């Protein structure tokens, strides 16, 4: 049990340390570490974890780490994984806050952050494509995916003001309508 908790902590610490751009950028690394390399959860279960983590209050990376840690080693596993994913950001932000103004004024730092933004966008797109590849291929599911993609593009490119809460509720209602009464897969 102690070994599992330490392993959870170190894996999620590494994920938290080497991921810039927040939880969505972490999804790709979480998939590599916990599903592909270690087999702690299946790729299908990870898709469900991401959906639940996105739908519940709190950051997606913390929610995912907490769930995966609990699955692997119970309550202490969830504590270990959550601390592991949170501590790197906390430490880095604390250190940066000590000298933020001087830090951001450095040209090399400003340029590095521009490159990091591109890498973060790539990681988010990569995670989205990997997760969407695992979705069912029925006409209704493809239609729901196209509708959601259209809403996302509208919100971001056209400047529509649309609450994320409504998007989640719309997804839940459309899932109920498209799969009325059928068994969950």
Show contacts of 125-131: CB within 8 Å, 24+ apart.
126/28, 127/24, 127/25, 127/27, 127/28, 127/31, 130/28, 130/31, 131/27, 131/47, 131/50
Contact of 63 with 56, CB cutoff 8 Å: yes
Contact of 65 with 85, CB cutoff 8 Å: yes
pLDDT at residue 161, as a whole number:
75
Using CA atoms of 8, 47, 129, 40 in order, give the dihedral in degrees to the nearest 10.
Answer: 30
Alpha-carbon distance values, 65 to 13, 29, 68, 84, 157 (Å):
10, 12, 5, 9, 31
Give the model confidence (pLDDT) of 150-176 as tens digits: 877 887 788 777 677 787 787 788 778
pLDDT at residue 73, as a whole number:
95
Q: At 130, phi and psi to the nearest 5?
A: -65, -45
pLDDT at residue 130, as a whole number:
80
The segments of the chain whose pLDDT lies below 50 read none
Q: What is the Cα–Cα distance from 72 to 79, expressed in whole angstroms?
A: 11
Question: What's the whole-model pTM score?
Answer: 0.61
pLDDT at residue 120, as a whole number:
82
pLDDT at residue 183, as a whole number:
54
Both tokens of 38, joined, read 């270690």
């Amino acid at each position: 049990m102690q070994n599992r908790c330490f392993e959870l902590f170190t894996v999620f610490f590494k994920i938290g340390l080497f991921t810039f751009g927040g939880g969505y950028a972490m999804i790709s690394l979480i998939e590599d570490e916990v599903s592909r390399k270690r087999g702690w959860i299946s790729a299908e279960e990870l898709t469900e974890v991401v959906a639940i983590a996105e739908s519940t209050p709190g950051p997606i990376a913390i929610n995912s780490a907490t769930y995966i840690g609990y699955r692997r080693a119970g309550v202490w596993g969830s504590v270990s994984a959550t601390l592991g994913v949170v501590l790197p950001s906390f430490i880095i932000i604390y250190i940066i806050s000590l000298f933020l103004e001087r830090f951001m004024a450095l040209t090399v730092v400003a340029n590095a952050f521009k490159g990091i933004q591109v890498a973060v966008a790539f990681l988010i797109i990569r995670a989205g494509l990997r997760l969407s590849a695992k979705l069912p291929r029925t006409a209704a599911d493809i239609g729901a995916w196209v509708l959601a993609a259209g809403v996302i593009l509208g919100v971001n490119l056209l400047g529509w003001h649309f609450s994320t809460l409504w998007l989640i509720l719309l997804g839940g209602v459309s899932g109920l309508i498209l799969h009325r009464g059928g068994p969950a897969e």
